[in-house]
Amino acid sequence: MKKYFTKGRIALLIIFSVLIIDQVIKIWIKTNMYYHDRIHITDWFYIFFTENSGMAFGMEIFSKLFLTLFRIIAVVVIGWFLHKFVKQNMRTGFIACVSLVLTGALGNIIDCVFYGVVFNESTYSQIATFMPEGGGYAPWFYGKVVDMFYFPIIDTNWPTWMPFVGGEHFIFFSPIFNFADAAISCGIIALFLFYSKDFNEAYYAAIKKS
């Protein structure tokens, strides 16, 4: 049994599992909800459908094509390092963290590359359909990333006596993200907290052997 669960197979299991979960959630959201529609789970957790055409937190510093190609190159590089780390027999937890980062990036690449072609546009009055007769809403590589998890843990107004921001609306943790984003964040945080030394050693070893 121990031989069966090799580190390479564990990495593949994480990659396929996270990728499938991410895409199932996104496709369901895309084909069942209007744009900016929301499902109330609790007062601090909503399913809120939005789409992100840029990088993290909706930033659009560079062109869409550049961002998509940059993501693809990043995934190829991370995948190459993951292959090296598995061959170096790095710790299982370390392999799992890198696999999460790789899969999260790959999940969002799928949206960018394919979603514009296989879905029509989601609007406030139209729910998108898969492979519409009139074609998709954008060419290849110009699709938007589907986001849905919204955690307004604190939703209030600043006290009126506070300078500059007094009386203004304040939401603690306003970013809306998806399962792939969560995989990237968890993987990176765990790498910094528990495997920073492993990462440095594995990185230099992979470079030397390449």
The residue extents of the domains of the chain are 10-35+45-209
pLDDT at 171 over 50: yes
pLDDT at 208 over 90: no
Round to whole Å and give the CA distance between 14 and 21: 11
pLDDT (tens digit, 9 = 90+) per residue, 47-100? 999 998 765 544 555 677 888 898 899 999 999 999 999 999 999 999 999 999
Decide: helix, strand or coil at residue 171: strand
**Percent of the chain beyond pLDDT 90?**
69
**Catalytic one of 22, 111, 181, 198:** 181
Type of residue found at 64:
K
pLDDT at 1 over 70: no
H/E segment holding residue 109: helix 92-110
**Catalytic one of 22, 111, 147, 198:** 147
pLDDT (tens digit, 9 = 90+) per residue, 172-194? 888 999 999 999 999 999 999 99
Please say if 181 is a catalytic residue.
yes
Question: What pLDDT does 61 receive?
Answer: 58
Q: Residue 173: left (phi > 0), alpha (psi -120 to 50), or beta?
A: left
Please say if 147 is a catalytic residue.
yes
